[in-house]
């Protein structure tokens, strides 16, 4: 039996929930669907840091999974912006997109898809503080939990990766299977403070932090740094 592969991309400094949220959902799907396997891929087999004290190691290198069926790209802060200048990572995304059925991202992972040339002319989303930055890559920013444009799907910030993953299961196997997976991981969000009221989003408070991340992450790419700062 030929297996299709979900490739989760890792790189230093990524936001861990961007990765493990959808990884847990899609691993549960793969457990029930033997034609699907899950791999965590990186440029090298070495352990990398995340935006928490937790360190992780890929299960495979880019070279070992050259043609994944589906790709999930997590985001992060300054390290993700720094990764926009990583030719191994961006090159892998470009090559994978040539044959992959779906290229997807969580949070600012969408900027990496944009850097790989995959968002030009498409609607897309990302973490709300970086939403307008998508214009730098030719995308049309949309404030949604996820945006499905057919071959490319982008999700909003961090926890939205779980929603993205359940949407992927529903798209690939139907709502009944997606509901089973949802029960399996007991995804029933009931945040203690209730749903977010976006009219109260602390944009002015967050902007200095966002600008600092752009300056730090893109210190070596002044043209892109200037372009993103003008959009934020």
CA–CA gap between residue 35 and residue 89 (Å, rounded): 27
Contacts 24+ apart (CB under 8 A), 25-32: 25/162, 25/165, 25/166, 25/169, 25/181, 25/185, 25/187, 26/72, 26/165, 26/168, 26/169, 28/181, 28/184, 28/185, 29/169, 29/172, 29/173, 29/177, 29/181, 30/6, 32/177, 32/180, 32/181
Given the residues 81, 84, 107, 158, select the one marked as catalytic. Answer: 107
Active site residue 107: yes
CA–CA gap between residue 4 and residue 69 (Å, rounded): 6
Distances (CA, A) of 77 to 12, 80, 214: 11, 6, 8
Annotated catalytic residues are: 107
């Amino acid at each position: 039996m030929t297996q299709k592969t979900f490739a989760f991309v890792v790189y230093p400094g990524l936001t861990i929930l961007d990765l493990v949220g959808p990884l847990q959902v899609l691993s549960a799907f793969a457990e029930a669907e033997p034609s699907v396997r899950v791999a965590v891929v990186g440029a090298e087999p070495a352990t990398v840091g995340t935006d928490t004290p937790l360190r992780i190691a890929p299960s495979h290198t880019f070279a070992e999974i050259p043609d994944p069926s589906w790709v999930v790209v997590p985001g992060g802060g300054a390290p993700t912006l720094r990764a926009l200048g990583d030719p191994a990572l961006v090159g892998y995304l470009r090559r994978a997109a040539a044959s992959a059925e779906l290229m997807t991202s969580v949070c600012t992972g969408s900027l990496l898809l944009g850097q790989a040339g995959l968002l030009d002319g498409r609607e897309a989303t990302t973490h709300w503080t970086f939403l307008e930055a998508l214009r730098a890559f030719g995308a049309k920013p949309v404030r949604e939990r996820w945006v499905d444009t057919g071959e490319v799907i982008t999700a909003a910030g961090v926890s939205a990766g779980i929603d993205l993953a359940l949407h992927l299961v529903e798209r690939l196997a139907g709502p009944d299977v997606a509901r089973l997976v949802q029960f399996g991981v007991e995804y029933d969000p009931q945040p203690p403070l209730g749903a977010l009221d976006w009219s109260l989003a602390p944009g002015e408070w967050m902007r200095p932090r966002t600008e600092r991340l752009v300056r730090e992450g893109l210190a070596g790419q002044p043209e892109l740094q200037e372009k993103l700062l003008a959009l934020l």
